[in-house]
Amino acid sequence: MLVRQAIALVVVYLSPLVFSATFVALILLWQADSAIVFLLAAIAEGAGGGTLISMMITIMKDRSLPQERGQIFAICVAGLDLGIAIAAPILGTISELVGYRNMFGYGAAIASVALIIFLTQSSKDLSNSLRFALGLAPDVYALNNLKVRSEEL
């Protein structure tokens, strides 16, 4: 129980950092003019993207029943894969119009929109969303935080 709580706390505290690291990586790639800037962008992207799946798994686990976790995880990963598959031809076409380098700038804009959505929509209202996203409040949608009467189950 203590290990699970510790992992959940680490994930909640890292959430804004993941989006921020991805944003910084995309800005660096957009403006990169040397190998060192490119390597710094790779480090930032590794820090951001490397924790994304573990954050996603922790939130899915906390918000689903044990018997539905496999199905929920499969749907989320399938959606992630579908997004990657659809993005390649669409964004490839756009990059031919605006240039490959500018695509990283657009990616940074999308990452900032994702951060804003996470900060404002991750809980039941704006106040709880901000507190949850910044690690100052528990996940109100986590099943272990829900108050349910036993006869309703």
**DSSP secondary structure letter of residue 125:** S
The pTM of the full predicted model, rounded to 2 decimals, is 0.68
H helix and E strand count, the chain: 5, 0
Q: Give the C-alpha separation, 23 to 52, whole Å.
A: 13
Decide if pLDDT at 84 tops 60.
yes
Mean pLDDT over residues 10-32, rounded? 72
Say which residues have a Cβ less than 8 Å from residue 24's Cβ, sequence separation at least 6: 41, 44, 48
Query: pLDDT tens-digit profile of 136-147?
Result: 888 888 877 666
Nearest Cα residue to 63 out of 119, 6, 128, 146: 146
Tokens of 7: 């992992």
Query: pLDDT tens-digit profile of 38-54?
Result: 888 888 888 777 777 77
Decide if pLDDT at 12 tops 60.
no
96 falls in which pLDDT band (50, 70, 90)?
Answer: very high
- Work out whether the CA dihedral 73, 77, 80, 85 comes out positive or negative: negative
93 falls in which pLDDT band (50, 70, 90)?
Answer: very high
